[in-house]
Amino acid sequence: MNIQAFEEQSGASAERPPVLVVRHGRGRTGGSTFLDFLIQRARRAGREVIIGDGDKGNPTLAAFYPAEEQDGARQPISADIADVSEWVTTLSGEMALRKASLVLDLGGGDRVLAEHARDMNLPEFCEDVGATALGVFMIGPDKDDFEHVLSIFRAGYFRAEHSILVLNYNLVKAGKNAVSAFEWLESHSGYSEMLKRGSVIRMEKLACMEVMRAEGLSLNEAIEGRRGKSGVPFDPARAYQVKVWMNKMEKQFRTYGIEDWLP
């Protein structure tokens, strides 16, 4: 499919309630890539998105969307939990005032959410201001990845209206079957527990992922053939791979009926 076809697929009405998205999961589980995709599809459809990157140790979204650029990522003044918690409150208020969606990447996030929940229940705040809350749980084939997000889910710091469990097939080691790598998950009691409040999405392997990230390109920059860190335009073959990957993700959103959950 060409880029225009993708735009038409993700071009649902710009008139929809704002969405507060909070990413949960350990580092290296692909959360920044998934959030980048949500941001790109929303902006292509003309919907405003505020980006918050609270991971001071590995600020991936802030690298994709520099603060000095228009609508660039916002970061807290420090990694101190109190500072990050105050930053979350400020961005949430801005979301309500601007009626724009807010995408938050808090790194591990559980300590920040635990601190913030003492003063403010974010999902209840969303309901009060006419927004919806979405929890994104990133899961790799390592069982510890799931145990980590399950502990956050059960703690209830951010009991969102909707939840998406994202199985990252990019993390399956070469030579292993991607489907079998996650077979253990279906027999885990916590899996069905989490699915009662949400849906599961498979984030398939993107062959050029490492090249794209090494160039420091977002998904949209890659499909547009932008120049990366090397100064060389991203080549058309790899741009096509990214485009196909994005269309596969879009198809899953339609298949599982979760398009309206997204920013």
Residue 253's nearest CA partner among 87, 2, 4, 11 is 11
Report CA torsion sign: 141, 143, 145, 150. Answer: positive
Distance CA(181)–CA(145), nearest Å, equals 13
Q: What is the pLDDT of residue 109?
A: 60
Judge residue 252's burial from the number of C-beta atoms within 10 Å of its C-beta, 0-12 exposed, 13-18 middle, 19 or more buried: middle
Distance CA(213)–CA(244), nearest Å, equals 17
Distance CA(119)–CA(130), nearest Å, equals 20
| DSSP run (H or E) holding 170 | none
Q: What is the mean pLDDT of residues 229-235?
A: 95
pLDDT at 10 over 70: no
The verdict on residue 239 lying in a domain is no
Q: Does the predicted model carry a pTM greater than 0.85? A: yes
The verdict on residue 99 lying in a domain is yes
Q: What is the mean pLDDT of residues 203-232?
A: 92
CA distances from 138 to 169, 196, 200, 201, 226 (A): 11, 17, 10, 10, 28
Give me 175's structure tokens.
Answer: 């030579």
125: helix, strand or coil: helix
pLDDT at 106 over 90: no
The verdict on residue 88 lying in a domain is yes
With vertex at residue 123, the alpha carbon angle to CA 120 and CA 13, rounded to the nearest 5 degrees, is 135
The verdict on residue 1 lying in a domain is no
Q: What is the mean pLDDT of residues 214-241?
A: 94
Q: What is the mean pLDDT of residues 23-41?
A: 88
Counting other chains too, the contacts that 221-225 makes at CB distance below 8 Å and 24 or more residues apart are 223/3
Structural domain that includes position 146: 16-204
The verdict on residue 112 lying in a domain is yes
Kind of pairing between the strands at 198-203 and 132-139? unpaired
The verdict on residue 232 lying in a domain is no
CATH number, domain of 118, equals 3.40.50.300
The verdict on residue 123 lying in a domain is yes
pLDDT at 91 over 90: yes
The verdict on residue 220 lying in a domain is no
With cut-offs at 50, 70 and 90, classify the pLDDT of residue 108: low
Q: How many domains does the chain have?
A: 1
Give me 86's structure tokens.
Answer: 């105050």
With cut-offs at 50, 70 and 90, classify the pLDDT of residue 14: low
Q: What's the full length of the chain, in residues? A: 263
With cut-offs at 50, 70 and 90, classify the pLDDT of residue 88: very high
